[in-house]
Amino acid sequence: MPEGQVTPHPYYPRNLFLPGYRPNRVPLTELLGLFFGLVAIALISTWILAGRFNKRGADRVVICWFVVCGFIHSVLEGYFAANHETIIGGGSYLAEMWKEYGRGDSRYLTSDSFTVCMETITAVLDGPLCFAAAIAHLTGSRHRYPLQLIVSLCQLYGDTLYMCIEWKEDFVHGEYGHPLTFWFYFVFLNLFWIFVPLILIIQAYVALSASPSGDLHKTKKKK
């Protein structure tokens, strides 16, 4: 335990100095249950709403994805952006969720410059854009694919940087190989924001390339 730190902590590197650290009091099962329960409520509610707008198949899934992303970016990541300096001693559910996730990546508990900047941009920009993209898809707006492309590029770029920086630093901010904190928290959960945005970028590009304006441009060139 670093000199001057009163309470031992479970974070990496093991000599990390975390003044003011307060251990979590909410059980792990309760924290995970609350998080995934709220995600499930957002997902199911959006699925039902999209059905009432006669959305089917892939469109319905895309709308659900953007609403869930908007919820996570705005609420969870927004909380981090606003409270990153005090999370380590916090006792709220959101603070304890971040302290639990910090077992897989302690950068969230030290006000790491890149992490704070990335999460602030994600909360301020990506969150509202996700909701805008969901509404655009729900209403059939002509802006749906441009919004989908923009927000998916933001997500892919941010998450790729986030994971690659940790890789270049030899995964020192968590217990490498741990089934829960490394493989589930850090790898599995973050890969959603790699693969899904990549698919949506391709879908948006194909849709925009086949748009009437694109066809008109081709017709004019032939003439």
Residue 218: per-residue pLDDT: 45
pTM for this model (two decimals): 0.89
List pLDDT tens digits, range 71-97. 999 999 999 999 999 999 999 999 999
Residue 120 domain boundaries: 28-210
Q: Is residue 222 in a domain?
A: no
- 91 and 23 in contact (C-beta within 8 Å)? no
The alpha helices in 11-87, defined as continuous H runs, are 28-52, 57-71, 78-83
Query: Could you give the 3-state DSSP secondary structure of residue 17?
Result: coil
Q: Is residue 13 in a domain?
A: no
| Parts of the chain with a pLDDT under 50 | 1, 214-223
Q: Is residue 173 in a domain?
A: yes
Q: Is residue 218 in a domain?
A: no
Q: Is residue 86 in a domain?
A: yes
Q: Is residue 62 in a domain?
A: yes
The total number of structural domains in the chain stands at 1
Query: Could you give the 3-state DSSP secondary structure of residue 9?
Result: coil
Q: Please give the DSSP secondary-structure letter assigned to residue 92.
A: S
- 69 and 132 in contact (C-beta within 8 Å)? no
Residue 86: per-residue pLDDT: 95
Residue 5: per-residue pLDDT: 52
- 109 and 177 in contact (C-beta within 8 Å)? no
Q: Is residue 72 in a domain?
A: yes
Q: Which DSSP string do the residues of 124-183 spell out, in sequence order?
A: IIIHHHHHHHHHHHHHT-TTHHHHHHHHHHHHHHHHHHHHHHHHHTTTTTS-TT-IIIII
